[in-house]
Structure 1
Amino acid sequence: MAQGFADAQSPRPLLESETVYSGPVWDVVKEKFTLTDGGEPLVRDYIAHPGAVAILAMNEAGQVLLINQYRHPVRMTLWEIPAGLLDVDGEDFQVGAARELAEEADLQASEWQVLTDLFLSPGSSREALRIYLARGITEVPEADRHTRTHEEAEIKVEWVDLDDAVQAALQGRMHSPSAVAAVLATAVARGNGYRDLRPADAPWPEHHSQHSSWANGPVR
């Protein structure tokens, strides 16, 4: 495979699109399409997700911030990184990430770079995730801190050596996809002095909001 290979947009003929479930966070869409003009019709259901951002915060000692949070669908408390939905219309991606870092970890950062962009489950969801590396970390002033509720009220915060986080990922002790991707990407980036990371405002064409239209009609 040639160097510099990349995923590519590949629109296909869309015959029908219907929202079969509308929820407070995401919808389920049923679509009929063909792979080629005049080809056999296929039907697929998928989650129309608003997308999300996640943040790996790193302090001056080179430690990374992990949070421990209960996730009901898997009945586990997971070591994760701060993250949240892109559910504020028109909000800049990095601004949303800064908001989530403050809300979930009471932290703010002066230096932001893009670690990686992912589709978390592209066979069943359009959820696009952008993960940032945040450095120049300071605490949010007490008076400006967010009051966490529900599962977030149980969040525990821990600064961990990056190498220990990498070992947790490789040994199957950490299962959050955003956390695993973040610590492995950061370990690679550290090896070349973080020179290959993209700026915080790097284009993100894979997020559905960056398209003038989306295959399933109106975008939430």
Structure 2
Amino acid sequence: MRTTPWFEVREDTVVRPDGEPDVYHHVVSPGSITVVAMDNDNRVAVTQQWIYTHGDRQWRLPAGAIDASDADPRAAAERELAEETGVRAFRWEPIAQVNGADSFTNHVDHVFLATDLTLGTPSREAAEADLDVHWVPLSKAVELVAEGAIRHAGSVCGLLAVSIRKETTHRW
């Protein structure tokens, strides 16, 4: 087993469905959060920043890891939204859970809708110094998904879920 501050790489001895012994390698993660922060004009906060593992600047929603100090995924979502954008939300609704790579990791991305927003000042980490926040209409964010400009799984799921709910329930 190898442990990092963010995940563990495990090698488990298992018995396959056919009854034969095997070794299963996988990553164990505390999970992450993604936030669809939507204002009263149906605009959502979309960030753009350099993502090292993909080697380019990417569009995505505010997102981040669930830290050991977070009481639960919602607490992590509140913290990450405030850190990255300076936004605080009065209303929070869990809208999805994404398993991005089931055979590779137990990682779950908890996706939230945040509304009744108050703007403030971000308190970004050094690694987020290049993070830009853009407020775009929900329809434009969904277009970015359709064009392949937003590829982050939690962001894609969250934007599509909110868009579908908005169209079918007219709640917002």
- Measure the CA separation in 2 of the matches of 1:44 and 1:107: 41
- Measure the CA separation in 2 of the matches of 1:42 and 1:188: 42
Question: Counterpart amino acid of 2:76?
Answer: G
- Measure the CA separation in 1 of the matches of 2:119 and 2:27: 36
Contact 1:69 1:151 in 2 (8 A): no
1:82 aligns with 2:82: no
Q: Structure 2 vs 1, CA of residues 177 and 29 (structure 1 numbering), >3 Å: closer, same or farther?
A: same
Secondary structure of the residue that 2:58 maps to in structure 1?
strand
- Measure the CA separation in 2 of the matches of 1:90 and 1:138: 21
Count of residues in correspondence between the two structures: 171
- Bigger radius of gyration: 1
Which residue is 2:33 aligned to?
Answer: 53
1:64 aligns with 2:44: yes
- For 1:5-44, what aligned pairs fall within 5 Å after superposition? 19=1, 21-36=2-17, 39-44=19-24
Q: Structure 2 vs 1, CA of residues 90 and 169 (structure 1 numbering), >3 Å: closer, same or farther?
A: closer
- Measure the CA separation in 2 of the matches of 1:161 and 1:194: 16
Gaps of 5+ in 1: 1-18, 196-220
- Measure the CA separation in 1 of the matches of 2:43 and 2:35: 14
Please identify runs of 4+ aligned residues in structure 1 that moved more than 6 A.
none
1:73 aligns with 2:53: yes
- Give aligned-pair identity as a percent: 26
- Measure the CA separation in 1 of the matches of 2:85 and 2:68: 20
Question: Counterpart amino acid of 2:125?
Answer: T
Q: Give the root-mean-square deviation of aligned CA atoms.
A: 1.7
- Measure the CA separation in 2 of the matches of 1:182 and 1:120: 13
Question: Counterpart amino acid of 2:129?
Answer: A
C-alpha displacement at 1:89, in angstroms? Answer: 4.4
Q: TM-score, normalised by structure 1?
A: 0.73
- For 1:89-104, what aligned pairs fall within 5 Å after superposition? 89=69, 91-104=71-84
Secondary structure of the residue that 1:50 maps to in structure 2?
coil
- Bigger RCO of structures 1 and 2 (CA < 8 A, at least 6 apart): 2
Q: Structure 2 vs 1, CA of residues 89 and 99 (structure 1 numbering), >3 Å: closer, same or farther?
A: closer
Gaps of 5+ in 2: none
Q: TM-score, normalised by structure 2?
A: 0.92
Which residue is 2:156 aligned to?
Answer: 180
- Measure the CA separation in 2 of the matches of 1:46 and 1:184: 29
- Measure the CA separation in 2 of the matches of 1:192 and 1:27: 41
